[in-house]
Amino acid sequence: MSNKMHVKLNVNGEDHEFLAEPRELLIYALREKLNITGPHVGCETSHCGACTVTMNGKSVKSCTVFVAQANGAEVTTIEGLGNPDALHVLQENFKEHHGLQCGFCTPGMITRAAKLLEENPNPTEADVRFGIAGNICRCTGYQNIVKSILSAASEMNAAKEAAQ
Amino acid sequence: MIPAAFEYYRPTDMAGVIALLKEHGDDARVIAGGHSLIPMMKLRMAEVPHLIDLQAIEGLNGISIAGGTVKIGAMITQHEIINSAELEKAAPIMKEAALQIADPQVRYMGTIGGNVANGDPGNDMPGLMQCLNAQFHLVGSDGDRVVDARDFYEAAYMTDREDDEVLIAVSFAAPIGGFAYEKQKRKIGDYATAAAAVQISKEGGKVGAASIAMTNLSDTPIWSEAAGAALIGTACDEASVKAAVTAMLSDIDPTEDNRGPVAFKRHAAGIVLGRAIARAWSRA
């Protein structure tokens, strides 16, 4: 019953292969097998969104995906969006607008926000609040998170216009 | 929270799924998006020694609208329901309801098939399927069959589906007139304290037809024929809405839980139905 299976994952553009029990949750495979610790374990019950990653183009809570289901998938985590030397525009704006306090929810929040802006580059404040409703922050009261995302959206749009 | 170990299968055709279900009986379950089943497995409230993933099966992820009939494949997600312009045009109540299910991440994974087949009284689509008088398409080792949504639910998590059957699609006649799905919940992501699905059509200023269903107010979704009948032929005035609410209240049977005592749930049921009727009528 506890036979391990061969799992292939492409995470942030890099191919990985490892053995895992089918029941292992994607979040633990990322954190403990691949040492990709950006996505956090918050509630582990699909509520808080700290473990949010992008899997095959969908924002998902990686605590609610078995690694067996993810076999063959392309996954993007916060590490795939930016790094300390080259921050993603969302990371820049979270920094600029103080969109975090303790920072625990931030990787999931930004990963979710990146997908949201990809699907809706011109969101209203209400769109942002509805779009991040699956991510809980217990520090900020969301005000500055929303501000950061809206500001990132206009910056991304300005950059797009300038490039044209 | 680690579920019990299981064998994992990802068959590429429905015959493979049926063969596995036949072999393992009630030790096997199919998984679509998994956002009902995985939490239950993590809590060890569901034990599934053989887990059959439907993600590689073709033909379960289409939406077709033809000749006034809407058919939605079981693997269509809530996110896809929300973003289908064609479906919004044919049956806008689907989008209105899907937007009130869980949260964005869950809606990318949660499917209509899982939502209706699981038999959880808290799920929203079963109530909506009652309202729309939908049909559920099942395949199994004894062949295909079609069951009316209104005959499908027997009790909480108990449905007319046999262990070796898979629900592959839902279909319904594109509804006419005004619509509303109104849901009272404690927070984003919660199941309904009470929810109502309403379709109303208008003829000569009066209600021509009305269909009313309620979510999470009994151990199955409730289609209240009497509530709809109370509106027909009326101008949807205050007295008729009150009569519909009274009729609905005698069809539901809520139980006390962490969403409140019975009296509160009955109160909330009346409020959501009143709002849903008003909104549906304003759109009729």
Cβ contact, residue pair A46, B35, below 8 Å: yes
Final residue before a domain boundary, out of B116, B142, B172: B172
Amino acid A109: pLDDT: 98
- B258 and B273 fall within a common domain: yes
How many angstroms away from the CA of A24 is the closest CA of chain B?
A: 8
Cβ contact, residue pair B106, A23, below 8 Å: no
Backbone angles phi, psi at B205, to 5 degrees: 80, -5
Closest chain B residue to A5 measured between Cα atoms? B8
Final residue before a domain boundary, out of B151, B172, B193: B172
Within a domain: residue B27? Answer: yes
Cβ contact, residue pair B108, A58, below 8 Å: yes
The count of structural domains within chain B is: 3
- B39 and B71 fall within a common domain: no
CB atoms within 10 A of CB B158: 11
Is pLDDT larger for residue B122 or for residue A2?
Answer: B122
Mean pLDDT of chain B: 97
Q: How confident is the model at residue A3 (pLDDT cuts 50, 70, 90)?
A: confident
Q: What is the pLDDT of residues B164-212, one digit of tens each?
A: 999 999 999 999 999 999 999 999 989 999 999 999 999 999 999 999 9
Q: What is the pLDDT of residues A138-157, one digit of tens each?
A: 999 999 999 999 999 999 99
CATH of residue B113: 3.30.465.10
- B195 and B166 fall within a common domain: no
Within a domain: residue B188? Answer: yes
ipTM (interface pTM): 0.96
- B83 and B163 fall within a common domain: yes
Nearest Cα neighbor of B164 from B143, B146, B135 is B143
How far is it, in rounded angstroms, from Cα B105 to Cα A60?
5
- B151 and B91 fall within a common domain: yes
Task: Give the domain extent around B168.
Answer: 65-172
CB interface of B with A, residues 49-108, below 8 Å = 49, 51, 53, 55, 79, 102-106, 108
Within a domain: residue B119? Answer: yes
Within a domain: residue B88? Answer: yes
Q: What is the pLDDT of residues B6-47, one digit of tens each?
A: 999 999 999 999 999 999 999 999 999 999 999 999 999 999
Within a domain: residue B29? Answer: yes
Within a domain: residue B60? Answer: no
- B104 and B197 fall within a common domain: no
Within a domain: residue B197? Answer: yes
C-alpha to C-alpha distances, B113 to A11, B126, B146, B168, B279, nearest whole angstrom: 29, 10, 14, 7, 28
- B138 and B186 fall within a common domain: no
- What domains, with CATH codes, occur in chain A? 5-80 (3.10.20.30), 89-163 (1.10.150.120)
C-alpha to C-alpha distances, A81 to A30, A85, A95, nearest whole angstrom: 16, 12, 15
- B21 and B79 fall within a common domain: no
Query: Looking at the predicted structure, is the pLDDT value of residue A2 above 80?
Result: no
Block residue for tokens 């609610």: A64
Share above pLDDT 70 across residues of chain B, in percent, rounded to a whole number:
100
How many angstroms away from the CA of B208 is the closest CA of chain A?
A: 36
- B100 and B130 fall within a common domain: yes
- B141 and B211 fall within a common domain: no
Within a domain: residue B59? Answer: no
Query: Looking at the predicted structure, is the pLDDT value of residue A1 above 80?
Result: no
Final residue before a domain boundary, out of B172, B200, B233: B172
CATH of residue B31: 3.30.43.10
Measure CB to CB from residue B1 to each of A44, A130, A134 and give the nearest one. Answer: A44
Cβ contact, residue pair A45, B42, below 8 Å: yes
- B231 and B256 fall within a common domain: yes
- B135 and B156 fall within a common domain: yes
Q: How confident is the model at residue A100 (pLDDT cuts 50, 70, 90)?
A: very high
Closest chain A residue to B40 measured between Cα atoms? A45
Amino acid A133: pLDDT: 98
Beta-carbon contacts of residue A68 (< 8 Å; ≥ 6 apart): A5, A7, A20, A22, A23, B8, B10, B51, B53
Mean pLDDT of A84-88: 97
How far is it, in rounded angstroms, from Cα B212 to Cα B75?
26
